[in-house]
A = this chain, B = another copy of it.
Amino acid sequence: MSHIPAPAAIGDKLAEVDTPALVLDLDAFDANLNAVHHHVLERAVRLRAHGKAHKCSAIGLRQVAAGAIGLCCQKVGEAEVFVQAGIGDVLVSNVIVGLPKARRLAALARTARVGVCVDSALQVEQIAQAAREHQVSVDVLIEIDVGMGRCGVLDEAEAQALATLIASHAPALKLRGLQAYHGRAQHMRTTAEQAVAIGKAAARAARMASALRDAGHRVEEITGGGTGTYPYEIASGVYTEVQPGSYVLMDGDYARNQPDPDSPSLAQALGLLCSVITVRDTHAVLDGGLKTFAVDSGLPQPQLRGWSTRGLSDEHMVIEPAGNAESLQVGQKIRVIPGHCDPTVNLHDWIVAVRGNRVEQVWPVDARGALF
Contact = CB atoms under 8 A, between A and B. Distances in A.
Interface of A: 1-5, 7, 18-21, 52, 74-75, 77, 94-98, 100-101, 119-120, 122-123, 149-152, 154, 183, 275-280, 282-283, 285, 287-288, 290-292, 294-296, 312-316, 318, 330-331, 340, 342-343, 346-349, 366, 368-372
A232 to B, nearest CB: 20
A346 B292 CA distance: 10
B287 A97 contact: yes
B3 A74 contact: no
Nearest to A99: B331
Contacts of A288: 371
A20 B21 CA distance: 27
Contact of A275 (B21, B98, B152, B283): B98
A21 B290 contact: no
Oligomeric state, in number of copies? 2
A277 B95 contact: yes
Most chain B CB within a 10 A radius of its CB, from A21, A100, A340, A369: A369
Given A18-B101, A95-B278, A369 B343 contact: no
Contacts of A331: 97-98, 122
Contacts of A314: 52, 74, 342-343
B372 A154 contact: no
A75 B315 contact: yes
| Most chain B CB within a 10 A radius of its CB, from A149, A288, A291, A342 | A291
